[in-house]
Amino acid sequence: MTERMTMAGAINAGLRAAMERDPKVLLMGEDIGALGGVFRVTDGLHKDFGDSRVMDSPLAESGIVGTAIGMAMRDYRSVIEIQFDGFIFPAYDQITTQLAKMHYRSRGAITLPIVIRVPFAGGIGAVEHHSESPEALFAHTAGLRLVSPATPQDAYDLIQQAIACPDPVMFFEPKARYWDKGEVDIARVKAQLDQPDGEALATAEMAKARIAREGADVTLVAYGPTVRLALQAAEVAREEGTDVEVIDLRSISPLDSDTVVNSAKRTGRVVVVHEAPTAFGSGAELSARVTEQAFFHLHAPVLRVGGFHTPYPGAKFEHDYLPSLDRVLDAVDRVMAH
Amino acid sequence: MDAVGPLSSEGLVQLLTHTGEPVENETFSPYAAHLSADDLRAFWRDMTVLRAFDLEATSLQRQGELGLWVQSLGQEGAQIGSGHALREPDFVFPSYREHGVALTRDVDLVDVLKIFRGLQHGAWNPKDHGFHLYTLVIGSHALHATGYAMALDRDGLVASGDPDRDGAAVCYFGDGATSQGDVSEALTFASVYNAPVVFFVQNNQFAISEPATRQSKVPLADRGKGFGIPTVRVDGNDVIACHAVTQWAVRHARSGGGPVFIEAFTYRMGAHTTSDDPSRYRSKAQESYWAERDPISRLEAYLTNRGELSAEFRAEVEAEAKALCERARTAVRSWEREPLLTMFDDVYALPHATVEAERAWFERYEASFADGETAAEGKAH
């Protein structure tokens, strides 16, 4: 049972399915009601579920997260939309000092099943603060889970798995991929959630990486917006005689180290590609894990391709700031040269 | 005290003068009319026991048994009076000085010391007491209270037609917190969603060392007005007035009237915590002024004047306080840390690979020492 849809449409369909499934699921955010969100991801949901389920909130990001925490204490599952990546910082305190730690502080008495949707990353020619990749800041915080879909199928599955998860989940939506189309099997995740331990199954599966393309020479690790780029690079490299394996992490926290390390052991060469600044980023974590766990299998140092240690530049520069096909292929060439 | 702005005592609701004389208040006296002599004696008992406990905890900190203690000294009236206005369906969101409110919610005060001994961040189950965990990031819980109140409304527990079922969220914070963005955002959300939440500000005059004038140019209660929230200033050292005003506020909220903002004008007689030195930032004259307005001696004078505080009752309360302090002392000194690996528990509700891997590594690491010791002992033998 598949339907062809865009990633934005898949998230919308996933939200609708979750809301139909559980009356305690609410959407909160700025402009998500009548407007359907600035990217129209919540399009039509306000009309069908009304003000009480699709809540246009005051323009206050910390307030949105903080009130969702209070509501979760009465078993509501809020799916929050932060309008753009760069606007998450007013809520940073609520997310890191409150949301992430409440389960630990209460020794399990309080669970906060809140999903924070963050349209993130660049490539759409936006103005300042509208193209950032802050995932490493949150991956560094214990208590949060982070996922990022790269395909409409994953967008549909992951949003429902995130909502079913009893832990807070940050859902990073690659905004440049909202309009990518793909086939979506709409039955699989429902079958999973219908199991008696559906929450646990969904949470476990949400944490698994996907081998998007098998290959023998180099492992390219990517997530969210850079998965498509990595697949393109693999195609070009193939023409040049290099067989590239592409791993779509799907989950940034936890990291599916096993899938990456096993691949590294097979290929002996790893390149990590993300849009976020390279320094202290998730690529550094992946590089460290591969080095610790597969050192004697490596033929080359693990390389990272990412953004620079600059603020995200003006849109006329982003083409050069972001990992490009050429920069990814250059890194592939460099690890192959060892 | 002829201060202006947030340090002004003008317009305070008072039902008992600082010498213990009753005062009539057209609006709020009816909300204290139900209080019997037994109720007032119970207020006095709670305030007295709380103070004794507070001093005991301070001593334990000085003896090195606690890493830190946050005194509630001087704020007993605001806390016990308001706390006793709440019922089971209500839910309290405290900051970190609300030991008196905790007492009214049947939290064992001895357990609170686990936080300050560094054993836990929580120490009670919020759901069992309608009393959330202490919040140390100033003002952040004002939003949690507001969200909780919005959920109460959604759950049909406001203006339900059965007042016994209705509830409110009650959020306690201090004068410093009113400067925090989260408190302003909470007031916005509470107002526009008409949430049944009572913001109870204890203006104890200082945020660590900074006087309330560094937080505001106007009485703190005025903060509510700009958000369209009814506000009341109450004499925070008058336990009866605090009770009455809170009683009014929670009934207003529970019955669908929306949020209320209360400023309880009080004084922190101790330090901010056991780490600071108030002699650096306030005068002896000021401390003496407030000592004359002590919430406990005020009610004591009132009850004594009416012949309602017998020597027998006093002795009973004294014994109760002593027993609590002894129990605290013994407990604190006997508490063992829980097994080391519990440090990794409850980071997530469901397994998380990073935590699991680190727990497993640490377990092996710890075990390697145990093996080493065994091996060494084996050799020695």
A115/A24 Cα distance (integer angstroms)? 13
pLDDT of residue B4: 79
pLDDT-derived band at A118 (thresholds 50, 70, 90) equals very high
Report pLDDT digits (tens) over A246-257.
999 999 999 999
Q: Which two tokens stand for residue B28?
A: 């709020």
The letter for the amino acid at B69 is: W
Over residues B161-188, mean pLDDT: 97
- Residue B236 · residue B242 · CB < 8 Å: yes
Cβ within 8 Å, pair B348-A69? no
**Mutation site, A67, A147, A203, interface B, largest B CB count within 10 A:** A67
pLDDT of residue B376: 47
Cβ within 8 Å, pair B154-A76? yes
Give the contacts of A112 (CB within 8 A, at least 6 positions apart).
A69, A72, A73, A99, A102, A103, A167, A168
Over residues A36-42, mean pLDDT: 97
pLDDT-derived band at A84 (thresholds 50, 70, 90) equals very high
Report pLDDT digits (tens) over B238-263.
999 999 999 999 999 999 999 999 99
Report pLDDT digits (tens) over B148-171.
999 999 999 999 999 999 999 999
Please name the residue of chain B whose CA is at the shortest distance from the CA of residue A111. B349
Asked if pLDDT for residue A270 goes beyond 80, the answer is yes
Asked if pLDDT for residue A39 goes beyond 50, the answer is yes
The letter for the amino acid at A173 is: E
B231/B222 Cα distance (integer angstroms)? 7
pLDDT of residue B370: 76
pLDDT of residue B36: 98
Distance from CA of A67 to the nearest CA of B (A): 4
- ipTM score for this prediction: 0.96
The letter for the amino acid at A35 is: L
Give the contacts of A157 (CB within 8 A, at least 6 positions apart).
A14, A149, A188, A189, A205
Active site residue B272: yes
pLDDT of residue B373: 56
Over residues B331-351, mean pLDDT: 96
Cβ within 8 Å, pair A71-B151? yes
A287/A142 Cα distance (integer angstroms)? 20
Determine what percent of chain B is predicted with pLDDT higher than 90.
Answer: 95
Please name the residue of chain B whose CA is at the shortest distance from the CA of residue A107. B346
Active site residue B268: yes
Put simply, the chain B residues between 181 and 240 with a CB less than 8 A from any chain A CB are 181-182, 185-186, 188-189, 192
Asked if pLDDT for residue B371 goes beyond 70, the answer is no
Q: Please state, rounded to an integer, the average pLDDT across all residues of chain B.
A: 95
Does the beta carbon of B166 lie under 8 angstroms from any beta carbon of chain A? no
Least confident of A176-180, B33-37, B370-374: B370-374
Report pLDDT digits (tens) over A184-207.
999 999 999 999 999 999 999 999
A133/B207 Cα distance (integer angstroms)? 36
Put simply, the chain B residues between 43 and 102 with a CB less than 8 A from any chain A CB are 91
Please name the residue of chain A whose CA is at the shortest distance from the CA of residue B352. A254
Cβ within 8 Å, pair B346-A108? yes
Measure Cα distances from B13 to A221, B27, B285, B367 in Å: 66, 9, 24, 63
Q: Nearest CB to B152: which of A74, A111, A167?
A: A74
**Mutation site, A105, A138, A255, interface B, largest B CB count within 10 A:** A105
Q: What is the arrangement of strands in the sheet containing B91-93, beginning at the earlier edge strand?
A: B91-93, B169-174, B197-203, B260-265, B231-235
Asked if pLDDT for residue B378 goes beyond 70, the answer is no
Q: Which two tokens stand for residue B356?
A: 């699991």
Does the beta carbon of B351 lie under 8 angstroms from any beta carbon of chain A? yes
Q: Nearest CB to B353: which of A143, A167, A207?
A: A207
Please name the residue of chain B whose CA is at the shortest distance from the CA of residue A166. B349
pLDDT of residue B306: 96
HEC string for chain B: CCCCHHHCCCCCECCECCCCCECCCCCCHHHCCCCCHHHHHHHHHHHHHHHHHHHHHHHHHHCCCCCCCCCCCCCHHHHHHHHCCCCCCCEEECCCCCHHHHHHCCCCHHHHHHHHCCCCCCCCCHHHHCECCCCCCCCCHHHHHHHHHHHHHHCCCCCCCCCCCCCCEEEEEECHHHHCHHHHHHHHHHHHCCCCEEEEEEECCEECCEEHHHCCCCCCCHHHHCCCCCEEEEECCCHHHHHHHHHHHHHHHHHHHCCEEEEEECCCCCCCCCCCCHHHCCCHHHHHHHHCCCHHHHHHHHHHHCCCCCHHHHHHHHHHHHHHHHHHHHHHHHCCCCCHHHHHCCCCCCCCHHHHHHHHHHHHHHHHHHHHHHHHHHHHC
Asked if pLDDT for residue A217 goes beyond 50, the answer is yes
| CB pairs A-B closer than 8 Å | 146
pTM: 0.96
Distance from CA of A94 to the nearest CA of B (A): 7
Asked if pLDDT for residue B2 goes beyond 80, the answer is no
SS3 of residue A66 by DSSP: helix
SS3 of residue A311 by DSSP: coil
Asked if pLDDT for residue B1 goes beyond 60, the answer is no
pLDDT of residue B3: 73
Report pLDDT digits (tens) over A282-313.
999 999 999 999 999 999 999 999 999 999 99
Please name the residue of chain A whose CA is at the shortest distance from the CA of residue B342. A107
Asked if pLDDT for residue B231 goes beyond 50, the answer is yes
Over residues A315-338, mean pLDDT: 97
Cβ within 8 Å, pair A104-B347? yes
Q: Which of B41, B45, B141, B268 is catalytic?
A: B268
Q: Please state, rounded to an integer, the average pLDDT across all residues of chain A.
A: 98
Task: Verify cis geometry, omega within 30 degrees of 0, for the bond prior to A58.
Answer: no
B97/B75 Cα distance (integer angstroms)? 9
Q: Which of A46, A129, A130, A338 is catalytic?
A: A130
Distance from CA of B109 to the nearest CA of A (A): 17
Over residues A100-116, mean pLDDT: 98
SS3 of residue A41 by DSSP: coil
**Mutation site, A59, A74, A101, interface B, largest B CB count within 10 A:** A74
Does the beta carbon of B107 lie under 8 angstroms from any beta carbon of chain A? no
Cβ within 8 Å, pair A255-B353? yes
For residue B63, the tally of other CB atoms under 10 A from its CB is: 11
Distance from CA of B133 to the nearest CA of A (A): 7
Asked if pLDDT for residue B363 goes beyond 90, the answer is yes
Measure Cα distances from A299 to A221, A292, A302, A337 in Å: 17, 14, 9, 9
